[in-house]
């Protein structure tokens, strides 16, 4: 049996699909499972033992369609349910099952602030398989490491444990300000490793300089045990995931690395600003706490984030409290 799974983007969503090929492999152990996604997200499945082939979608849809038709799939599992994925299903003319989106519920939550609890997205992906009598195995997400990876050595102060702070997120309204990040790191009061991409280098440098090189008079006002090791812009996703795996706990915005931390079964403190945990993207099947401001009538204002606060005050992040981060 040959199966095609479709999910084009983005990083977090693709990590959330990982139970699906696992369940398909359990049901059909001799199946040949292919996963199609955008080229920039293909690394998530490169080492996954449940996927036999990753098809990288680039810029030539005709070439991809020709390739897909030549594979002669028996089943298509559509976990994106958009115009592109529906066109692929129409083109292939094969038996297919499709993930159900909750457009209306999300609209009610973000536009009318009706507090509906939307099913976790990973659970929705899993339940797509009910149509072919495949049931949830109760396990979480998957993330597999390559056999060859760069060894990352941390300073000796980190030998007895450390905490990861994921500095970035794609959209500005999903990220703490530098002032709030300083407050959070001070509350953590221990060895911290910062992870993030190149775009997070400026803000991570601010944190590093503040805690590691501040004037002693400033240090006297702090909890004093916070030490920053800054790896922003220095690691790829797999290397960042390995740092997360070695950590004691993870503080993260609503972003892809949060879901990788879930797959690695870490204790997670997930920070939500303009988005909301009720939208269904909170950590899945791991220990977690949510840090969010539930005293605002304006949130959630979006399901994905904005470049700036629509109301102009950004209280969803600026007024966050870090009372219990232990």
Q: Residue 262 belongs to a domain with what CATH number? A: 3.40.50.2000
* CA atoms of 258 and 169, how far apart (whole Å): 10
Number of domains observed in the structure of the chain? 2
Question: Same domain for 104 and 192?
Answer: no
* Confidence bin at 215 (pLDDT 50/70/90): low
**pLDDT on residue 311:** 95
Shared-domain flag, residues 121 and 162: no
Residues 273 and 171 in one domain: yes
pLDDT at 263: 99
Better-predicted residue by pLDDT, 258 or 223: 258
Residues 309 and 162 in one domain: yes
pLDDT over 60 (residue 43): yes
Rounded (5°) CA angle 31-35-36:
145
**Alpha-carbon distance 45 to 82, whole Å?**
21
Q: Write the CB contacts of 234 (distance below 8 Å, at least 6 apart in sequence).
A: none
Same domain, 160 and 303: yes
Instruction: Please check whether residues 254 and 197 belong to one and the same domain.
Output: yes
Mean pLDDT of 169-185: 96
Instruction: Report if residue 106 sits inside a domain.
Output: yes
> Of 100, 132, 164, at which residue does a domain stop?
132
Looking at the fold, whether 163 and 36 belong to one and the same domain comes out as: no
Cα–Cα separations (whole angstroms), residue 5 to 100, 107, 266: 15, 27, 27
Query: Average pLDDT, stretch 14-40?
Result: 98
138 assigned to some structural domain: no
pLDDT digits (tens, 9 = 90+) for 67-111: 999 999 999 999 999 999 999 999 999 999 999 998 888 889 898
pLDDT confidence of residue 315: 97
276: confidence class by pLDDT, cuts 50, 70, 90: very high
Comparing C-alpha atoms, which of 20, 8, 30, 18 is closest to residue 74? 30
**What CA–CA distance (Å, rounded) separates 194 from 182?**
12
Q: Is residue 139 part of a domain?
A: no
Has residue 113 been placed in a domain? yes
In a domain, 193, yes or no: yes
Average pLDDT over residues 174-182: 97
Bridge partners, 4 (sequence order):
34, 76
| Model confidence at 6: pLDDT above 90 | yes
pLDDT surpasses 60 at 155: yes
Q: Is residue 287 part of a domain?
A: yes
What is the Rg, in whole angstroms, of the alpha carbon atoms belonging to the chain? 21
Q: Do residues 202 and 303 share a domain?
A: yes
CB atoms closer than 10 angstroms to residue 220: 9
pLDDT of residue 222: 67
pLDDT at residue 212 greater than cutoff 90: no
Which backbone phi and psi does 140 adopt, to 5 degrees? -100, -145
In a domain? residue 174: yes
Q: Are residues 169 and 232 in the same domain?
A: yes
Point out the domain boundary residue: 132, 167, 184: 132
Per the structure block, which two tokens stand in for 148? 């060859």
| Res 304 pLDDT > 70 | yes
What is the reported pTM?
0.94
- Phi and psi at 180, nearest 5°, equal -70, -35
Residue with more model confidence, 224 or 38? 38
User: For residue 56, what pLDDT band results from cuts at 50, 70 and 90?
Assistant: very high
| 125 located within any domain | yes
pLDDT-above-90 percentage for the chain: 84
pLDDT at 124: 98
8 Å CB contact between 129 and 203? no
| Alpha helical stretches, state H, 214-287 | 216-219, 237-246, 256-263
Residue 6 is part of which domain span? 2-132
Q: How confident is the model at residue 217 (pLDDT cuts 50, 70, 90)?
A: very low
> Token match 């006297």: residue?
220
Domain shared by 49 and 124, yes or no: yes
Query: Is 131 exposed, middle or buried, given 0-12, 13-18 or 19+ CB atoms closer than 10 A?
Result: exposed
Token pair recorded at residue 273: 């600003």
Q: Do 178 and 128 fall into the same domain?
A: no
Same domain for 286 and 185, yes or no, is: yes
């Amino acid at each position: 049996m040959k199966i095609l799974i479709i999910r084009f983007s983005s990083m977090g969503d693709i990590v959330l699909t990982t139970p699906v090929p696992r369940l398909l492999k359990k049901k059909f152990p001799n199946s040949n499972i292919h996963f199609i996604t955008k080229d920039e997200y293909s690394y998530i499945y490169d080492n996954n033992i449940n996927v036999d082939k990753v098809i990288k979608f680039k810029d030539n849809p005709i070439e991809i369609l020709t390739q897909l038709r030549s594979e002669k799939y028996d089943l298509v599992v559509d976990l994106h349910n958009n115009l592109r994925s529906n066109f692929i299903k129409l083109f292939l003319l094969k038996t297919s099952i499709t993930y159900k989106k909750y457009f209306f519920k999300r609209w009610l939550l973000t536009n009318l602030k009706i507090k509906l609890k939307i099913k976790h997205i990973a659970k929705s992906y899993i339940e797509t398989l009910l149509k072919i009598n495949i049931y949830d195995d109760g396990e979480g997400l998957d993330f597999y490491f390559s056999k060859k990876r760069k060894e990352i050595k941390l300073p000796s102060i980190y030998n007895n444990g450390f905490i990861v702070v994921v500095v970035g997120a794609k959209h500005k309204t999903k990220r703490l300000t530098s002032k709030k990040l300083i407050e959070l790191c001070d509350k953590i009061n221990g060895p911290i490793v910062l992870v993030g991409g190149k775009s997070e280098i400026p803000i991570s440098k601010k944190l590093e300089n503040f805690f590691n090189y501040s004037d002693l008079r400033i240090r006297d006002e702090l909890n004093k045990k916070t030490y920053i090791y800054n790896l922003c812009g220095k690691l790829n996703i797999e290397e960042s995931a390995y740092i997360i795996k070695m950590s004691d706990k993870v503080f993260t915005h609503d972003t892809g690395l949060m879901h990788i931390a879930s797959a690695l079964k870490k204790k997670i403190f997930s920070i939500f600003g303009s988005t909301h945990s009720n939208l269904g993207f909170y950590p899945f099947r791991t220990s977690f706490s949510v840090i969010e401001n539930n005293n605002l009538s304006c949130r959630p204002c979006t399901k994905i984030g904005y470049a700036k606060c629509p109301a102009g005050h950004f209280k969803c992040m600026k007024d966050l409290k870090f009372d219990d981060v232990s």
